[in-house]
Structure 1
Amino acid sequence: MIREILIAAGAGFASAILSASILFGAGFGGFLLAYFALLPILIIGLSTGPKSAGVGCLCGLVAITLFTSFLQGALYGVSIALPSWMIAHFALQQRQVGDGSIIYYPAGHILAMLASLGAAMVLIAAIVHINHEEGFTGAINGYLETILTLRFQFSAPSNKALLVENILSLFPALTIGSWLLMVTINTTIAQAILNQTSNSLRSIPAYRHMTLPEWLYWAAIATAAVALLGSGDIKYVGRNVTVILAIPFFMIGLGTVHVLAGRLTRPGMALAIFYFMLLILGWPALIVAGLGFIEPWVELRKKFINPALGPDDDD
């Protein structure tokens, strides 16, 4: 018991060190280390259970707060500690069905909760800036101008203004989206490491078969309505929250694309072309997210799944 606590505490301290590395002038190397701050806690949590993850999260939170600042501690708690614990807690929930097999908590439902956490972050940020003289949008605009001025040199002020204008409308969603990508990558790596060492308490989920909870569909519809009908900051927040809640649907859509590509003679080349077009054009992401949204009704994955890829489940 003591040994498990010490190992979990060590994982928490390691996570805090990785997270704080970006604050001490380590350049790109510091950013890269900070990107994997979730990894130690996820490895401990998914191999020994959520209690160990909780110990690691608490130790990491205390360490980074003491050695940096309360603000950094709060950011660590929301972006690193809380999602690490959530993943370890829900991923290991299980129930036994009639035939004696074990069913784990669906991976898609965990992704939906993480997206909801990201949406909540945006809502809280908007409430905090509700008394800003230019509103939440103005606060984000000022933040972007400050960061760009400190980090980059522009040949003309108009160039900076154009860049701010281009990224302002979806900046909160882009920020949360990059955070969700970071969480997903860390979780995937942790599972791969534990699977290779036979220390994982749960088998790797069939990500291509993920399903999402019904409440996420209604939440996305509601926020989309707010984005369409609202104005000012309400419209701005509604738009960004809708994009954040659409990320799980985008992931489902990617799974559908992979299933469809699996029916082709050269799926690797087809997927390479698809991802190239996705990165270059950007707008196909809307189609992919829409494909993920309608998947429960059209069931393309079920119709076109390659039998060699395994059963259509989410555990």
Structure 2
Amino acid sequence: MHTALAAAVGGGFASALFYLSVLFGGFGALILGYLTPLPLLAAGLSLGLTAALVGSVAGAVMVLGVSGSLTITGAYALTAAVPAVFTVRQALLARPRADGGLEWYPPGMLLTGLTGLGILGFVGAVALAVGEPGGLEGVVRRALGDMAAQFAPPDAEPSADTDHLWIAPALPGFVVVSWMFMTIINGTLAQGVLMRFGRNRRPGMRITELELPRWLGPVYGTVVAMALAIPGDVGFLALNLGLILSVPFAFAGLSVVHAYARARSTRTAILVAFYMFLVLFGWPVVVLVGLGMIEQWMGLRRRWTTGPRQEDE
């Protein structure tokens, strides 16, 4: 018990150090900052939900003690501790099967829950900015305008016009999407390391088994249609909700790619080439979202999932 407690607290301190490295700067600080949830997820997925909670509290206390700022500590809790605890709790849910084994919480439902958590964060930000001129979009435009002014030439005239900041309406959604990917990538890394050393509680999640709820497709289609057809505040909300909801469909599309590659003898070459193309160009993620939507309606993976399963998926 003492060893588990020490591991949980140590995970929290490591997470806090990763997070604080961004504040202090230095080489590799951004990479370490991106790995902030990793120690919390590793502790939780190996030792249980209590370890994730203890590590989160320890990390928050360390961040508060070093930074002396409740705002910075709150940001740590919202971006690292809360998603880590949520992910661990959902991932370790299981119920007994008739054959005596365990039926683990489906990865598609876990991804959907994380999407809901991201939507909740976005809605909270919208609510906090209600009293500001222009709402959340106005806050984002002014913040981007201030940043642009700092990098402008010294002799440039200041401008209050922020209409040219085309990214502003979609920026909140992109921030949430980035946060979701950070949580997913760190969860995958944590589970992979734990499986490598035999310390995982839950078996590995195969991406080819990812199943999204049926209702998610119509909801996503409706939100996208609203974003395209309705201007103003409603369009702003729909645009950002659409960006957030695109994440589970991107992973559903990725499951189609993995299923296709698994049915081919050149599986590794196909996946390496695809991921290189995705990282280099970025836009293929739109294709993944489209594949995910088609998968919801047509079940493309069933054509290629009749072969033996690969454990490393």
Q: Which amino acid aligns with 1:15?
A: S
Amino acid at match of 2:52: A
Q: Secondary structure at the match of 2:167?
A: helix
**Cα drift, residue 229 of structure 1:** 4.5
Task: Report if aligned partners of 1:87, 1:110 keep a CA contact under 8 Å in 2.
Answer: yes
Q: Does the Cα contact within 8 Å between 1:94 and 1:105 map onto a contact in 2?
A: yes
User: What's 1:42 paired with?
Assistant: 41
> Could you say what secondary structure the match of 1:132 adopts?
coil
Native 8 Å contact 2:145 2:162 kept in 1: no
Secondary structure, aligned partner of 2:165 = helix
Shift in alpha-carbon separation, 1:222–1:63, aligned structure 2, 3 A: farther
> 8 Å contact 2:141–2:162 — kept in the other structure?
no
Compute the displacement of 1:106 (Å): 1.1
The aligned amino acid for 2:53 is G
Shift of 1:96: 1.5
Residue 239 (structure 1) shift: 0.6
The answer to whether the 8 Å contact 1:207/1:255 transfers is: yes
Shift of 1:301: 0.9
Residues 157 and 232 (structure 1), Cα distance of their counterparts in 2 relative to 1, 3 Å cut: farther
Calculate percent identity across the aligned residue pairs.
31
Give the deviation of 1:188 after TM superposition: 1.3
Paired position in structure 1 for 2:286: 286
Residue 297 of structure 1: CA displacement? Answer: 3.2
Distance 1:90 1:15 in 2: 20
Residue-by-residue CA offset, 1:118-139 (whole Å, 9 max, x unaligned): 1222211122112222332221
Farther off after superposition, 116-125 or 207-216? 207-216
Report the count of equivalent residues.
Answer: 309
Q: Give 5+ residue unaligned stretches, structure 2.
A: none
Segments of 5+ residues of structure 1 without an aligned counterpart are none
User: Structure 1 97/157 Cα, relative in aligned 2: closer, same or farther at 3 Å?
Assistant: farther
**Whole-angstrom CA distance in 2 between matches of 1:235 and 1:224:** 9
Matched, 1:25 2:29: no
CA distance in 2, matches of 1:271, 1:105: 27
CA distance in 1, matches of 2:122, 2:163: 21
Mapping 1:1-315, distance limit 5 Å? 1-26=1-26, 28-68=27-67, 69-150=69-150, 152=151, 165-264=165-264, 266-275=266-275, 277-278=277-278, 282-305=282-305, 307-310=307-310
What secondary structure does 1:165 align onto? coil
CA contact (8 A) 1:122 1:237 kept: no
1:45 and 1:52 in contact (8 A); partners too: yes
* Cα RMSD, aligned residues only: 2.9
Residues 170 and 301 of structure 1: CA distance in aligned 2, closer, same or farther (over 3 Å): same
Whether the 8 Å CA contact 1:38–1:183 is kept in 2: the answer is yes
Superposition deviation, residue 285 in structure 1: 2.7
User: What do residues 46-83 of structure 1 show as CA deviations (whole Å, max 9, x unaligned)?
Assistant: 11100111111122122223332111111111110011
Q: TM-score normalised to the size of structure 1?
A: 0.87
Which moved further from structure 2: 169-178 or 232-241? 169-178
One-letter identity of the residue aligned with 1:257: V
Q: Deviations over 1:89-146 (max 9, x none)?
A: 1111111111222111111211111122112222111221122223322211111233
**1:235 Cα deviation (Å)?**
0.9
Q: Distance in 2 between matches of 1:305 and 1:265?
A: 14
Q: CA deviation at 1:281?
A: 5.6
Contact in 2 for aligned 1:126/1:136 (Cα 8 Å) = yes
SS of alignment partner, residue 308 of structure 1: coil
Distance 2:273 2:169 in 1: 29
Give the structure with the higher percent helix. 1
Cα gap change, 1:274 to 1:48, in 2 (>3 Å)? closer
Contact 2:60 2:76 in 1 (8 A): yes
Q: Which amino acid aligns with 1:137?
A: E
Moved more, 225-234 or 6-15: 225-234
C-alpha deviations, 1:179-233, integer Å up to 9, x for none?
1221122111111111111111111111222112345335424433542453312
Q: TM-score, normalised by structure 2?
A: 0.87
Q: What letter matches 1:40 in structure 2?
A: P
Instruction: Specify the code of the residue in structure 2 equivalent to 1:134.
Output: G
Deviation at 1:282, TM superposition (A): 4.7
SS at 2:98's partner residue? coil
Q: Which amino acid aligns with 2:44?
A: G
